[in-house]
Amino acid sequence: MTGFLFENAWMIPALPLISILLIGLFATGSNARFAGIIGSVAIGTAFLLTCGLGLAYLSSAEAGASAVTWSIEWLRYQDHLVVSLGTLIDPISLLLLFVVTSVSLLVHVYSIGYMAGDEGYSRYFVFLSLFTFSMLGLVLAPNLLQMYVFWELVGVSSFLLIGFYYTLPEAIAASKKAFIVTRFADLFFLAGILVLGFFVHQWIVDAEWGGVTAAAVQSASAVQALDFATINSEPVLAHLKDQPGVLGLDLLTVAMLLVFIGAAGKSAMFPLHVWLPDAMAGPTPVSALIHAATMVVAGVYLVARLFPGFAASGDALDVVAAVGCITCLFSALIACTQTDIKRVLAFSTLSQIGYMMLALGVASAEHPAGLGAAMFHLFTHAFFKALLFLGAGSVIHAVHSNDVAEMGGLRKKMPLTHATFLIATIAIAGVPPLAGFFSKDEILGAALDGEHHLIFGVGLFVAALTAFYMFRVYILTFLGGHKSDGAAKAHESPPIMTIPLVVLGVMSVCGGWIAVSQFVLPGVELHAHLLVMGLSVAAAVVGIGSAFWLYGGQANRAQTMAESMGGIYRLVQNKFYIDEVYLFVTKMIFRFIAAPAAWFDRHVVDAVMNLSATVVRWVGARLNVLQTGQVQTYGIWMINGTILVLLFLWLVQR
| Cα 39 to the center of its chain, rounded Å | 23
Give the whole-angstrom CA distance, residue 72 versus residue 87: 10
CB closer to other proteins out of 534 and 641:
641
CB closer to other proteins out of 209 and 650:
650
C-alpha torsion 568→571→576→580, nearest 10: -160
CB closer to other proteins out of 59 and 632:
632
Quote the least distance from Cβ 590 to other proteins, whole Å.
Answer: 7
Quote the least distance from Cβ 81 to other proteins, whole Å.
Answer: 7
CB closer to other proteins out of 1 and 626:
626
Report the DSSP beta bridge partners of residue 340: 403
Quote the least distance from Cβ 78 to other proteins, whole Å.
Answer: 5
| Residue partners of 204: CB distance under 8 A and separation at least 6 | 80, 214, 217, 223, 225, 230
**Could you give the C-alpha distances from 506 to 431, 434, 509, in angstroms and in order?**
15, 10, 5
Quote the least distance from Cβ 640 to other proteins, whole Å.
Answer: 6
Nearest Cα neighbor of 403 from 500, 312, 487, 279 is 487
Quote the least distance from Cβ 516 to other proteins, whole Å.
Answer: 30
Give the whole-angstrom CA distance, residue 228 versus residue 145: 10
CB closer to other proteins out of 513 and 590:
590
Report the DSSP beta bridge partners of residue 143: 227
Quote the least distance from Cβ 620 to other proteins, whole Å.
Answer: 4
Quote the least distance from Cβ 642 to other proteins, whole Å.
Answer: 5
| Cα 505 to the center of its chain, rounded Å | 24
Report the DSSP beta bridge partners of residue 227: 143
Quote the least distance from Cβ 622 to other proteins, whole Å.
Answer: 9
CB closer to other proteins out of 48 and 173:
173
Do residues 241 and 250 touch, judged by C-beta distance below 8 A?
Answer: yes
CB closer to other proteins out of 489 and 603:
603
Quote the least distance from Cβ 240 to other proteins, whole Å.
Answer: 15
Report the DSSP beta bridge partners of residue 403: 340
Do residues 472 and 336 touch, judged by C-beta distance below 8 A?
Answer: yes
Give the whole-angstrom CA distance, residue 455 versus residue 354: 12
CB closer to other proteins out of 141 and 544:
141
Quote the least distance from Cβ 174 to other proteins, whole Å.
Answer: 11
Could you tell me where the beta strands, DSSP code E, fall in 17-169? 67-78, 81-89
Q: Which amino acid is at 473?
A: V
Nearest Cα neighbor of 95 from 339, 333, 375, 324 is 375
C-alpha torsion 256→258→263→264, nearest 10: 120
CB closer to other proteins out of 3 and 641:
641
Give the whole-angstrom CA distance, residue 333 versus residue 350: 11
Quote the least distance from Cβ 537 to other proteins, whole Å.
Answer: 45
Quote the least distance from Cβ 274 to other proteins, whole Å.
Answer: 15
CB closer to other proteins out of 254 and 362:
254
Burial-class residue 286 by CB neighbours within 10 Å (0-12, 13-18, 19+): buried
Quote the least distance from Cβ 447 to other proteins, whole Å.
Answer: 35
Question: What is the CB neighbour count within 10 angstroms for residue 580?
Answer: 11
Burial-class residue 318 by CB neighbours within 10 Å (0-12, 13-18, 19+): middle
CB closer to other proteins out of 561 and 609:
609
Do residues 490 and 414 touch, judged by C-beta distance below 8 A?
Answer: yes
Do residues 319 and 252 touch, judged by C-beta distance below 8 A?
Answer: no
| Residue partners of 268: CB distance under 8 A and separation at least 6 | 275, 276, 296, 349, 350, 353
| Residue partners of 351: CB distance under 8 A and separation at least 6 | 327, 328, 329, 331, 332, 335, 462, 465, 466
